[in-house]
């Protein structure tokens, strides 16, 4: 038997300790339960609808308000057109209140609707593990399926998709997956080239037992100052963030399992590989941005408009990442002008 010198034994113990701390330590960190959380239905407003789509219950808001699927069915018109609005990270249906009301006044639009993407707002937050290894309710493919499934539930064959930030990336993915169902695209500060999800090299680390345990705890930081800073950074003028916007953001942080669901979405996300597919998109498109967007820079939006075959570009001065909230009047004017210029979309 070899007698290992004491100093070597100490060094080996120290090395083992240094390895064990990052491997075992996170598994021992206590994760206290959040207090005061509620079921989504208890937080719903009078405008809220809950629609079952593709195995999940989505929180839906329609313009005009309160139109359930059995009341719509494509509005009974052959070729009737819907508008579906897809929010970005950390947002919810409330973000579309100004634009939705304007769209509802257009005679050619049968219905405008928005839904909370799972992990946000008041939609279901299922445990991803219960769905099996081949399907993730928070993954990009599921998000596409929910969008198309909602159209099916309401009986519409085609829609104009309006997507903001990560919702813009989703709108493009839907258009690529089912081009015959997308009449046109409005992309507001779309996250296409960067910032749309976890890079490939990082994704395996997110599912390690250590990070999986700490992940919800990390997400809880969004309920504090980091979340408030993220929200304010979306505005060119943070003072334009009104109390209703802040209340909508906080409401989603009061739903049961919001922290775990948000972590599941982060794990399931990936950087969209859309660049090579952009030439396939034949739909007329408007790319709209705030000129002072500090999250998805104006250069990215301008580049996208140049690389899409049938796109136009518009920027709103003195406006940030959420142009449809911070500068709703100008954003609505640009979108309605684009629709009017492409009147065939609405025929």
Domains and CATH numbers, the chain: 41-346 (3.40.50.1820)
pLDDT of residue 76: 52
pLDDT of residue 29: 61
Task: Name 119's Cβ contacts closer than 8 Å, sequence gap at least 6.
Answer: 125, 138, 258, 261, 262, 264, 265
Give whole-number Cα distances, 45 to 122, 147, 248, in Å: 10, 22, 11
Q: Judge contact between 202 and 229, C-beta under 8 A.
A: no
Task: Name 157's Cβ contacts closer than 8 Å, sequence gap at least 6.
Answer: 74, 79, 151, 181
Question: What's the residue count for the chain?
Answer: 347
Backbone angles phi, psi at 189, to 5 degrees: 45, 55
Strand partners, 56: 53
Give whole-number Cα distances, 48 to 65, 69, 92, in Å: 8, 13, 12
Collapsing DSSP to helix, strand or coil, 40 comes out as helix
pLDDT of residue 218: 83
pLDDT of residue 24: 54
Collapsing DSSP to helix, strand or coil, 35 comes out as coil
Q: What is the pLDDT of residues 6-24, one digit of tens each?
A: 343 334 344 443 444 454 5
pLDDT of residue 203: 65
- Per DSSP, helices labelled H in the chain are 6-28, 40-43, 69-72, 97-104, 140-154, 166-177, 203-206, 209-219, 225-233, 243-252, 258-268, 298-307, 323-326, 328-341
Give one DSSP letter per residue of 214-282, joined into a string. HHHHHHGGGGSHHHHHHHHHT-SSGGG--HHHHHHHHHHTTBTTHHHHHHHHHHH------GGGGGG--
Structure tokens belonging to residue 88: 């970005």
Task: Name 148's Cβ contacts closer than 8 Å, sequence gap at least 6.
Answer: 174, 177, 178, 181
Q: Judge contact between 141 and 270, C-beta under 8 A.
A: no
Give whole-number Cα distances, 146 to 110, 149, 171, 226, 280, in Å: 20, 5, 12, 30, 22
Structure tokens belonging to residue 16: 């083992």
pLDDT (tens, 9 = 90+) of the chain, 347 residues, equals: 444 343 433 343 444 434 444 545 555 566 788 888 999 999 999 999 999 999 999 999 999 999 999 876 655 555 578 999 999 999 999 999 999 999 999 988 999 999 999 999 999 999 887 777 678 899 999 999 999 999 999 999 999 999 999 999 999 999 999 999 999 999 999 999 876 566 665 666 667 777 777 788 888 887 888 888 888 999 999 998 888 888 888 899 999 999 999 989 988 887 778 999 999 999 999 999 999 999 999 999 999 999 999 999 999 999 999 999 999 999 999 999 999 887 656 55
pLDDT of residue 220: 87
Exposure of 194 in the CB half-sphere (CA atoms within 13 A)? 7
pLDDT of residue 58: 98
């Amino acid at each position: 038997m070899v007698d290992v010198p004491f100093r070597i034994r100490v060094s080996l113990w120290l090395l083992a300790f240094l390895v064990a701390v990052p491997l075992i330590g996170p598994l021992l960190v206590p994760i206290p339960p959040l207090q005061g959380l509620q079921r989504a239905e208890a937080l719903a407003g009078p405008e809220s609808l809950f629609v079952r789509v593709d195995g999940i219950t989505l929180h839906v808001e329609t313009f005009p308000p309160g139109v359930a699927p059995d009341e719509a069915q494509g509005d009974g018109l052959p070729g009737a057109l819907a508008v579906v609005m897809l929010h970005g990270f950390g947002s919810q249906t409330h973000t579309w209140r100004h634009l939705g009301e304007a769209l509802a006044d257009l005679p050619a639009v049968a219905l405008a609707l928005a839904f909370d993407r799972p992990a946000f707002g008041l939609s279901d937050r299922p445990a991803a593990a219960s769905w099996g290894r081949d399907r993730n309710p928070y993954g990009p493919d599921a998000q596409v399926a929910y969008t198309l499934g909602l159209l099916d539930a309401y009986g519409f064959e085609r829609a104009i998709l309006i997507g903001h930030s990560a919702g813009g990336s989703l709108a493009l993915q839907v258009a690529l997956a089912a081009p015959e169902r997308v009449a046109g695209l409005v992309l507001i500060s779309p996250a296409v080239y960067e910032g749309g999800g976890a890079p490939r090299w990082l994704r395996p680390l997110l599912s390690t037992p250590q990070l999986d345990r700490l992940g919800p705890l990390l997400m809880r930081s969004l309920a504090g100052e980091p979340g408030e800073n993220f929200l304010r950074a979306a505005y060119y003028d943070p003072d334009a963030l009104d109390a209703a916007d802040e209340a909508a953001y906080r409401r989603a942080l009061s739903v049961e399992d919001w922290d775990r669901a948000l972590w599941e979405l982060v794990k399931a996300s990936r950087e969209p590989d859309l660049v090579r597919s952009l030439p396939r998109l034949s739909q007329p498109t408007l790319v709209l941005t705030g000129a002072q967007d500090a999250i998805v820079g104006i250069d990215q939006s301008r580049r996208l408009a140049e690389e899409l075959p049938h796109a136009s570009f518009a920027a709103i001065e003195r406006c940030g990442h959420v142009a449809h909230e911070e500068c709703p009047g100008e954003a609505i004017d640009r979108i309605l002008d684009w629709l009017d210029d492409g009147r065939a979309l609405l025929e």
